[in-house]
Amino acid sequence: MTIMIYEMPSSVKEMFEQGENSYRIIDYSINEMDNIQSMQYFLDLIGAKSENIETDDGTQMVIIHPDFDHKLVIDSGGLADFYSHSFDVSIS
């Protein structure tokens, strides 16, 4: 049995509505990823576009949305292997 856990927002807007939060992806059915690759995967899954990304530092992103006055900072990290990833979101 393959483990697949996707605890994350469904869109950039939903992420902004939820504010500070922690998300995770655990999926042994996909190729292994480092923290930079998992950040891009996370952003792709929530539909982030280039206009949403204010700053890209690889494992940390500053995200903006036209409906909100604040920014979000996303930090990607690992959860012990290359198939388990965490994303901590804080308000900036």
pLDDT in tens, 12-31: 999 999 999 999 999 999 99
The ranges assigned to domains in the chain are: 4-91
pLDDT at 41 over 90: yes
Within a 10 A sphere around the Cβ of 11, how many other Cβ atoms? 14
Say what the pLDDT of residue 59 is.
Answer: 97
Say what the pTM is.
0.93
Question: Where is pLDDT greater, at 78 or 7?
Answer: 7
Q: At 80, is the pLDDT very low, low, confident or very high (cuts 50, 70, 90)?
A: confident
